[in-house]
Structure 1
Amino acid sequence: MASALRVRFAPSPTGYLHIGGARTALFNYLYARRFGGTFILRIEDTDLERSTPESLKAILDGLKWLDIGWDEGPEKEGPHAPYFQTQRLDTYRDHCDQLIAAGKAYRCYCTQEEIRERRAQAEKEGRAYKYEGTCRERKDVPEGRPSVVRFKMPSVEGSVSFDDLVLGKITKEYSDLDDWVMLRGDGIPLYNYGCVIDDHLMDITVVSRGQEHVNSTFPQLMLYQALGWEPPRFAHLPLILGPDREKLSKRKHKEADVMLHKANGILPEALLNFVIRLGWSHGNEEVISREQMIEWFDFKDVGSTSGVWNPDKLLWLNQHYLKTLPPSDVAGRLAPFLAQQGQTLAPDDVRLERFVLAFRERAKTLVEMATMALPYLKQGVTLDEKAAAKHLTADSLALLRQVREEIAALPDWSVAALDAVIKTVSERAGVGMGKVAQPVRVAVTGNTTSPGIGETLQLLGKEEALRRLDAALARS
C-alpha cells in the first residue's frame, strides 16, 4: 500500500449526481487538499443496463459546477488508468483465477432459480438466507452450465474488525457472512469485489463513503486478507435526510439532484457550504469559505448522526453569497437566467452588475434576481391601478412633469444626479422627497416598490425612463 494519501470518489453513472454523492466527493476532495493527497475519480459502470453516457456527463458536469476537481480519472488520465471498471474486466478475471487456484474462491453452478427457491424456503421458515456452500467442494463441472465465482469464507470461528474514522471500531463474526459472489458469469465484477481490486491497484489509502456501505466493508476486508493486501482506512459518512426526515432519495426528493439547484439559481459556493454542514462541523461556524473548508476539514469532525435537509438554510446561505461575492462575479452568473427569459445581455453590459447591486438584498436566488431585473429590460410598463389612483394625482403629475423635464436635460445619468433632481423638485415644491419619488416610482415601475429612485431610473436607462414617464403623464 502506498504511503502517500490517496482518496477516491467512485460513482455509478446511472443517473444525475446525487447530493449524497456530491458530499462524498467534497469530503474526499477536501481531505486530499488539506493533507497534500491525491483525489481520484473512478467510474463504476458495471451496471450495463442502467449506465449511460448521459449520466456520466451529468456527474462530471455536477462536479465541475461545484468545482470539485479530481487529480486522476476521466479527462485526466493518470498512472492508474483506466478509470472505468468496464475497461478493467481482464484484471478482475485474472485475480479471480488466482484466488480459485489458491483455494480461496470457487466456481458456483447454482442457477438463479435454485437460489431464489432456497431463499424463499428460508423466508418461509423465518430465517435469513445464507448461501449453503453447495459448490464449495464441487468436483464435477456441468458441461455448458454458466457459473459465477464465489469467495470462500473461512470455515473456522472468528471475526473481522476495523476502526472506522467516523464510527470507531466495528466487528462482525465470520458466521454472519456467507460465500458471496465476486464475479458474474459474464465477467462483470460485483461491487464488493471490483472496488477492492481497484482500490488496491490504485493505491487508495482512505475509503470514504456513506454509512449504507458499512456492512459491505466486512466481505471486502476478508478479500484483502485472502489476497495478502493491506486494506485502506475507512470512513463511513452519516446519511442525509430529506425535509420529511426520510433518507434523501432520487425517487422521493427533488432536492437530491445537484444540477436542479443550479437551475433554481443556487450558487455553487452556497450549495457546497450547505452540503459540508450535513454531517460535519467546525465549532458553530455556519458560513465557511472554500479556503476554510480545506484548512479545517478532517474525518474526526464528521458526526455519526444523519444530517437533515433545511431549504431555508440553503436559501439563507445563497443570499449571503449573492450579497458578499464580487458583484462582477455574480453578474456573470445572472446573465444566463436573463437569457432564459429572452433578455440576452453582453457579458460586459454594465446593467448586469447594476442589477446585482440593486436586488441582492432582496433576492434569494439568481432566478429571483432575474425576475426582479426583467421589468427593467422591457419596453413599457403595466400600471397597478390602485397605485396609480393613489399616486398619479393632478398634484403629483405636476411634480412628475418637472422631474421629467429636468432629468431629460441631465448630461450624467447617474444615481447621484438623478437623486439630486428628485431632491431639488421636492424642495422647490415644499414637500418631502417621498411625495415626488413615489409618483415617479409608480410611473416607471407600475407599483410602489423598487430600489432607490435614482437607482431605479438608472437601471431603466434614460430613453426607457423618459418613455414611461411620458406614458404616465399622458393619462392626465
Structure 2
Amino acid sequence: MTDTVRVRYAPSPTGYPHVGNIRTALFNWLFARHHSGKFIVRIEDTDQARYVPGAVEAILDGLCWLGMDWDEGPERDGVYGPYFQSQRLEKYRAAAEKLIESGHAYRCYCSLERLEDVRAAQTAAKQPTGYDRKCRDRCDISPAGVTPVVRFKVPLTGTTTFYDVIRGEVTFDNSLLDDFVLLKSDGFPTYHLANIVDDHEMKISHVMRAEEWLSSTPKHIQLYKAMGYEPPVYAHLPMILGPDRSKLSKRHGAVSIIEYKDQGYLPETMVNFLSLLGWSLDATTEIMNVKTVIDNFSLERISKTAAIFNIEKLDWMNGSYIRALPLDEFTDRAQPFLEAGVPEAAAYDREYLKGVLALIQERVKKLGELRDQPELTRFFFYENLEYHAVDLVGKGFTTISTRQALESSLERLLTLDSFTIDAMENSLRALAEELRLKPGQLFGCLRVAVTGQTVSPPLFQTMAVLGRERTTKRLKSAIAKTYELPE
C-alpha cells in the first residue's frame, strides 16, 4: 500500500452518468485533491453485452464539464486518457489462472440452462438462490464443446470482517455467499476480479463507492487475501433518495449529468450541490466554492444516512450562482442559449446583448430558460412586434383613451433631453397623473406597445436598452394599431 492517496472513479459504460454516479466521482476527486493525491479514471467496459454507444464520451464530457481532471492513464498526444479494462484482459486471465493453481478458484462447466433450473428449484423450495457448487470439487476435465467460467471458492464456514470508514466494522457470514464468477466464458472478467486486479496494480489506497457495493465487499476481501494483496481502505457512500425518501428517479430530477449541462445549470453549482449529498462543511453553510470544499473535505464528515436530492434546492442554488456572475461572464455563458432560442440575437453586437441580459440575469434560474422560453427576450431583437391591438386596451381604458395615452407618451419621450431610466419614469409618472390614470394603467399599456407582451422585465430599463429610436417607433406602430379597433 502506498502512503500517497490514490483513488479511482471506475464507471461502467452501460448508460450515461447519472447524479449518483457522478457524486461518487466527485467525492473521490475531492478527497484526492484535499490530500494532494492522485485521481484515476478507469472505464470498466468488460460487460460487452450492455455497452451503450456514446456512454464513454458522456462520462468524460461530464467530468471535464465539472472540472474533475484526472492524473494519469495511457498517454496520447500529451494527454492522459482513461484506462480501459477491455485493453487489460490478459492481466485478469493470468490472475484467474493463478487462483486456480493456488486452489482458490475452479472451472465451472454448468450450462446456463442448468443454472436456471437450479435457481427455479431453489425458488420453489423457498431457499436462497445461488450456485450449488456442483463443479467445485470435480476433476478438471472439460466436456466437449463447453467453455467454462472460473468461479471463486468462497469459504464454507466462518465470517468475513472488514472496516469501513463511514460504517465502522462490518461482518458477513460466509455461508450466505455463493461461489461467484471471476472469469466469464467469453474470457472477460467480472467486476469482482477486474477491480481487485486493477486496484492492486494501480496502488489504489481508498475505495469510495456507492452503498450498493457494500454486500460485495466480503467477496473482495476474500479475493485480496487469496491473491496475497493488501486491501484498500473502504468507504461506502450513502444512498441518494428523492424528497419523498423513495429511490431516486427521473421524476425527482435524477437525469444524466449531461442533461443538467444542456438545461443550463452551471458546473460550479453542480459541484457545490453534489458535494452536499452526503457531506457537509457545517450545519448551515450551503453556498461554497470548490476550493472551500476541497480544503475542508474529509471522510469523517460523510454521513451514514441517505442524502436527499431536492431539485428545488438545486434550482435555487443555480439561480444564486447565476446572479453572482459578473455581467461579462454571464453574457459569455448565456449567449449560446440565447441564440438557440432567438436566432435573431446573433446579429446584434455584444454591448446590446449585455444590456438585454443584464435585465434577465436576476430572473433566470437556468441558462436553458433563455433557449426554452424565448418570450423572455425575443422582443429585444424583432423589428416588428406581433400582438393583437385589443391587448393595448387595458382595464379602465377605451380605444380613444388608449390612443390618447400612447400619443401623449410618445410626445413626452420625443422631447426628453436624455433617454435615461430616471428621466423616462419621472416624465411618464407625471403624465399618468395629468391623465388621471394610475401609473400601472399607463405603464401596462406602454409595456404592450413596446414589447408586445403583458409581462416583461422592468419597463423603463427595457426602453433604455431598446433606445429612443426603437421605442418611439414601436409607440407609433401601436398608435396605428388602435385605428384597427372600434371606437
Alignment TM-score > 0.5, same fold: yes
1:452 aligns with 2:439: no
Shift of residue 430, structure 1, vs aligned partner: 6.2
- Higher mean C-alpha displacement, 252-261 vs 325-334: 252-261
Residues 196-215 of structure 1: matches in 2 within 5 Å?
196-215=196-215
Shift of residue 24, structure 1, vs aligned partner: 0.5
1:217 aligns with 2:223: no
**Residue in 2 that maps onto 1:420:** 423
Q: In the alignment, is the contact (CA less than 8 A) between 2:46 and 2:86 conserved in 1?
A: yes
Q: In the alignment, is the contact (CA less than 8 A) between 1:160 and 1:171 conserved in 2?
A: yes
- Change beyond 3 A, Cα 1:169–1:439: same
- Change beyond 3 A, Cα 1:174–1:57: same
Count matched residues.
468
Shift of residue 463, structure 1, vs aligned partner: 4.3
Shift of residue 207, structure 1, vs aligned partner: 0.7
Amino acid at match of 1:96: A
| Distance in 2 separating the partners of 1:164 and 1:76 | 37
- Higher mean C-alpha displacement, 41-50 vs 419-428: 419-428
Q: In the alignment, is the contact (CA less than 8 A) between 1:65 and 1:268 conserved in 2?
A: yes
Shift of residue 395, structure 1, vs aligned partner: 4.1
1:379 aligns with 2:383: yes
Amino acid at match of 2:393: A
Helix, strand or coil: the match of 2:203? Answer: coil
**Residue in 2 that maps onto 1:367:** 368
Residues 240-259 of structure 1: matches in 2 within 5 Å?
240-249=240-249, 255-259=254-258
1:441 aligns with 2:447: yes
Amino acid at match of 2:117: E
**Residue in 2 that maps onto 1:326:** 326
Amino acid at match of 2:477: A
Q: Unaligned 5+ residue runs, structure 1? A: none
| Distance in 2 separating the partners of 1:265 and 1:20 | 19
| Distance in 2 separating the partners of 1:428 and 1:122 | 87
Shift of residue 45, structure 1, vs aligned partner: 0.7
Amino acid at match of 1:393: T
Q: In the alignment, is the contact (CA less than 8 A) between 1:406 and 1:421 conserved in 2?
A: no
1:312 aligns with 2:315: no
Q: In the alignment, is the contact (CA less than 8 A) between 1:279 and 1:307 conserved in 2?
A: yes
Q: Unaligned 5+ residue runs, structure 2? A: none
Amino acid at match of 1:469: L
- Change beyond 3 A, Cα 1:134–1:467: same
Residues 2-13 of structure 1: matches in 2 within 5 Å?
2-13=2-13
Amino acid at match of 1:272: V
CA deviations on 1:84-137 (whole Å, 9 max, x unpaired) are: 011010010011111111111111112222122112111111110233322222
State the TM-score, normalizing by the size of structure 1: 0.90
| Distance in 2 separating the partners of 1:126 and 1:241 | 31
- Change beyond 3 A, Cα 1:351–1:72: farther
Helix, strand or coil: the match of 1:199? Answer: helix
**RMSD of aligned alpha carbons:** 2.8
Shift of residue 404, structure 1, vs aligned partner: 3.9
Residues 99-114 of structure 1: matches in 2 within 5 Å?
99-114=99-114
Amino acid at match of 2:390: E
Q: In the alignment, is the contact (CA less than 8 A) between 1:183 and 1:189 conserved in 2?
A: yes
Amino acid at match of 1:287: I
- Higher mean C-alpha displacement, 52-61 vs 66-75: 66-75
Identical counterparts, % of pairs: 40
| Distance in 1 separating the partners of 2:348 and 2:65 | 19
Shift of residue 275, structure 1, vs aligned partner: 1.9
**Residue in 2 that maps onto 1:126:** 126
Shift of residue 270, structure 1, vs aligned partner: 2.0
Shift of residue 367, structure 1, vs aligned partner: 2.8
- Change beyond 3 A, Cα 1:130–1:17: closer
Q: In the alignment, is the contact (CA less than 8 A) between 1:318 and 1:365 conserved in 2?
A: yes
Q: In the alignment, is the contact (CA less than 8 A) between 1:196 and 1:220 conserved in 2?
A: yes
Residues 464-475 of structure 1: matches in 2 within 5 Å?
464-474=470-480, 475=482
| Distance in 2 separating the partners of 1:147 and 1:347 | 67
**Residue in 1 that maps onto 2:356:** 355
1:282 aligns with 2:281: yes
1:399 aligns with 2:398: no
Shift of residue 323, structure 1, vs aligned partner: 0.7
- Change beyond 3 A, Cα 1:14–1:428: closer
- Higher mean C-alpha displacement, 191-200 vs 435-444: 435-444
1:116 aligns with 2:116: yes
- Higher mean C-alpha displacement, 456-465 vs 7-16: 456-465
Amino acid at match of 1:452: P
- Change beyond 3 A, Cα 1:52–1:467: same
Q: In the alignment, is the contact (CA less than 8 A) between 2:356 and 2:380 conserved in 1?
A: no
- Change beyond 3 A, Cα 1:83–1:442: same
